[in-house]
């Protein structure tokens, strides 16, 4: 049976450390190594920060739902928000050769996770991310 952990947080950045701890611990419990746990946590942190900044425009009292699910061979992370969405083709980071702070979260998420899907719906935005466990011996 798949194991699932669901969390709901407000869009207040103060709660990011609590959520990061839960994500890292969950990934460890389902069999990811220490380094992968940190990378998965970083990807989710970047995605949550983007939701707070861009979907909710800094409002700190808006809901974000987080679902972590163990899948056959990995983890699926689903983030739901009810903020301003964007068309999926607009969901890009700035060019990598534009060297300055910020704007690289989307690149990091796509580099860390094996698959990333974003879908804006009429009543919510949904970001799904998957990461496979390394094969034995990797």
Q: pLDDT tens-digit profile of 9-26?
A: 999 999 999 999 999 999
**pTM, full prediction:** 0.86
Confidence at residue 134, expressed as pLDDT on a 0 to 100 scale: 87
Residue 15 lies in a domain: yes
Separation between Cα atoms, residue 23 and residue 42, nearest integer Å = 10
pLDDT over threshold 50, residue 99: no
Residue 137 lies in a domain: no
Residue 26 lies in a domain: yes
Q: Are 132 and 74 in contact (CB under 8 A)?
A: yes
Q: Are 55 and 81 in contact (CB under 8 A)?
A: yes
CATH number at residue 16: 3.30.565.10
Question: Could you read off the pLDDT of 63-79 as tens digits, one per residue?
Answer: 999 999 999 899 999 99
Residue 107: φ, ψ to 5°: -60, -45
SS3 7: strand
Residue 138 lies in a domain: no
pLDDT over threshold 50, residue 51: yes
Range of the domain at 105: 4-132
The total number of structural domains in the chain stands at 1
% of the chain at pLDDT higher than 90: 70
Confidence at residue 92, expressed as pLDDT on a 0 to 100 scale: 58
Residue 13 lies in a domain: yes
Residue 126 lies in a domain: yes
Q: Are 118 and 88 in contact (CB under 8 A)?
A: yes
Separation between Cα atoms, residue 116 and residue 74, nearest integer Å = 14
């Amino acid at each position: 049976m798949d194991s699932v952990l669901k969390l709901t947080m407000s869009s207040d950045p103060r709660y990011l450390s609590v959520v990061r701890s839960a994500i890292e611990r969950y990934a460890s419990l389902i069999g990811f190594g220490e380094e992968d746990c940190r990378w998965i946590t970083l990807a989710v942190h970047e995605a949550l920060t983007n939701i707070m900044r861009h979907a909710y425009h800094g409002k700190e009292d808006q809901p974000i739902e987080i679902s972590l699910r163990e899948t056959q061979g990995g983890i699926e992370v689903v983030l739901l928000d009810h903020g301003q969405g964007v068309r999926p083709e607009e969901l890009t980071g700035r060019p990598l050769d534009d060297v300055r702070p910020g704007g690289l979260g989307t690149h990091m998420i796509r580099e860390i996770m094996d698959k990333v899907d974003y879908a804006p719906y009429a009543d919510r935005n949904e970001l799904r991310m998957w990461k496979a466990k390394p094969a034995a011996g990797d």
